[in-house]
Amino acid sequence: MKQRVAFSIIIALLTASVSFSDDGLYGYSAKRGGDVLFFIGEKTWQSTGDDKWDIAGTKSGGPPNILSELEFLGLESTVYEIYGGIRQGRGALTLGYGFGSMHGGISKDSDYLRDNRQGLFSLSTADADGKDWNNLNYWNIDYSYRLLTNELEEYYNERYLDMLIGYQEWHEKITMTNGVQKFGGTLGPFSGLNSKYEFIWRSMRIGLEGGLPIYKGFLLKGNTIFIPYNKYEGRGIWNLRTDFRQDPSFEHKASGGSGVQLEASLLYYIYSELSMDFGYRYWYIQSGKGDDTTYFSNGSVSVTQFNEAANERQGFFLDIKYIF
C-alpha cells in the first residue's frame, strides 16, 4: 500500500509541476453549468474491519435467543476503488468499483445453552483471511444534485453542498484455517479446517456531501451517507461438518437493516482539473432479522431465526481525481 500511495503522489506532483497555473486554481469556476463534463478517479483505502453474525435456537427466536455466534476481528485490507462519471449542471452520475484482499484477522465461534450468551458450551478460534485479490469487493451507483454553491452559473465551486441517492452491493468472502478449541470438547489445535463464509449486502444509500475552502487551493470535505434499508445474504461452507451439505452448508437471508458511511478529508487542487484528497472513512452496516437455513448431507433442512449480521470497517484513504 505504501508503494501505491507514494506512486500516486509522485504522479500527481509531476503533473502539477508541468501544468500548474493560477487560472482556476481554487476549483472549477471556469467550467459553466451547461457543460457536459467527465471525471475519473482512484481511491486507495487502508482499512481494518470486524464482521459478525448470530442465530437463535428456534425459528421463533429461542430459547436460547443466541444459540451460535461467529465473529471476525481485525481483518486488514487495502481497498482500491476506481470510479468515474458524468456531470451536467447541478447533477452528476457516478459509478465505482472497489476491490481488495483481507489478511491478519481471527475468528471466534461461540455456542450457548441459555439466553443472553449464558451457558457457554463451545468456543473455538481460527485464523481468518480473504487472500484473493477480490475477496472484498463492492460496486456503487450514485446520483448527486448540487443544492448549494457560490454562484449558480458555475459548474463547480469550492463551497458546496450535494444531496446523494444511490445503490451499493458489497461482498466479503472469508476463509478460516488453523482452528483451536478453547472451551468444550477436545481442547487444543485441530487440523483440516478450511471453512468459508461470505457476507453479501445490497443497500440503498442517501446522504449529503459538502466542501468548504480554507486556504489557497485547500478544501475541507465531508460526507454523511445513511443506509435506510438493506437486504442481506450470507453463505457458509463448514468443511469439517460431515453431517452438513458442502455447497452451501447453510444460508442466511434478512432484510430491513440500516447503516452509515462517514468521511472527512482535506483536498488540494493541484490544478483546475486535478485534485488530491486525503482523509478518513468509517463504514458500518447491520442487517434485520431473517432465516438461518441449514442443509444436511442426508437432504433434510432446518430453519431457525437469523438474529443479525453486522460489518464495521474504517481507515485512511488517498483519492486522486481528474476531470475533463
Residue-wise DSSP of 219-286: EEEEEEEEE--EEEEEEEE-TT-TTB-SS-SEEEEEE--EEEEEEEEEEEEEETTEEEEEEEEEEEEE
pLDDT in tens, 47-100: 999 999 999 999 999 999 999 999 999 999 999 999 999 998 889 999 999 999
- The SS3 call for residue 67 is coil
Cell, residue 309: 449480521
- In what helix (H) or strand (E) does residue 144 lie, and over which residues does it extend? strand 136-149
- The SS3 call for residue 22 is coil
Would you place residue 158 in the very low, low, confident or very high pLDDT band (cuts 50, 70, 90)? Answer: low
Backbone angles phi, psi at 188, to 5 degrees: 110, 180
For the chain, what is the mean pLDDT?
89
- The tally of domains found in the chain comes to 1
Would you place residue 150 in the very low, low, confident or very high pLDDT band (cuts 50, 70, 90)? Answer: low
Would you place residue 104 in the very low, low, confident or very high pLDDT band (cuts 50, 70, 90)? Answer: very high
Does residue 153 have a pLDDT over 70?
Answer: no
Does residue 144 have a pLDDT over 70?
Answer: yes
Q: Of the candidates 272, 274, 261, 280, which has an alpha carbon nearest to the alpha carbon of residue 221?
A: 280
Average pLDDT over residues 263-281: 94
Does residue 227 have a pLDDT over 90?
Answer: yes
Does residue 114 have a pLDDT over 90?
Answer: yes
Instruction: Sort strands 160-183 and 195-215 into parallel, antiparallel or unpaired.
Output: antiparallel
Could you give the dihedral angle defined by the CA atoms of residues 209, 214, 219 and 224, in that order, rounded to the nearest 10 degrees?
-20
pLDDT at 35: 77
Cell, residue 137: 469487493
Give the global pTM.
Answer: 0.87
Cell, residue 115: 439466553
The DSSP secondary structure of 83-125, one letter per residue, reads EEEEEETTEEEEEEEEEE-EEEEEEEEEEEEETTTEEEEEEEE
Cell, residue 18: 508541468
Would you say 145 and 90 are in contact if contact means Cβ atoms under 8 Å apart?
yes
Does residue 139 have a pLDDT over 60?
Answer: yes
pLDDT at 223: 96
Average pLDDT over residues 107-129: 97
Between residues 20 and 139, which one has the greater pLDDT? 139
Domain of residue 301, residue span: 2-323
Q: Which residues contact 124 (CB under 8 A, 6 or more apart)?
A: 108, 109, 179, 180, 181, 182, 190
pLDDT at 271: 85
Does residue 11 have a pLDDT over 70?
Answer: no
Would you say 33 and 284 are in contact if contact means Cβ atoms under 8 Å apart?
no
What percentage of residues in the chain have a pLDDT greater than 90? 78
CATH number reported for the structural domain that contains residue 143 in this entry: 2.40.128.90
CA distances from 49 to 22, 28, 165, 207, 304 (A): 42, 36, 25, 22, 27
**Pairwise CA distance, residues 229 & 79, whole Å:** 24
**Pairwise CA distance, residues 263 & 258, whole Å:** 17
pLDDT at 217: 84
Does residue 118 have a pLDDT over 60?
Answer: yes
CA distances from 29 to 2, 101, 151, 154, 212 (A): 34, 39, 9, 6, 14
Would you place residue 3 in the very low, low, confident or very high pLDDT band (cuts 50, 70, 90)? Answer: very low
Which residues share a beta bridge with 305? 291
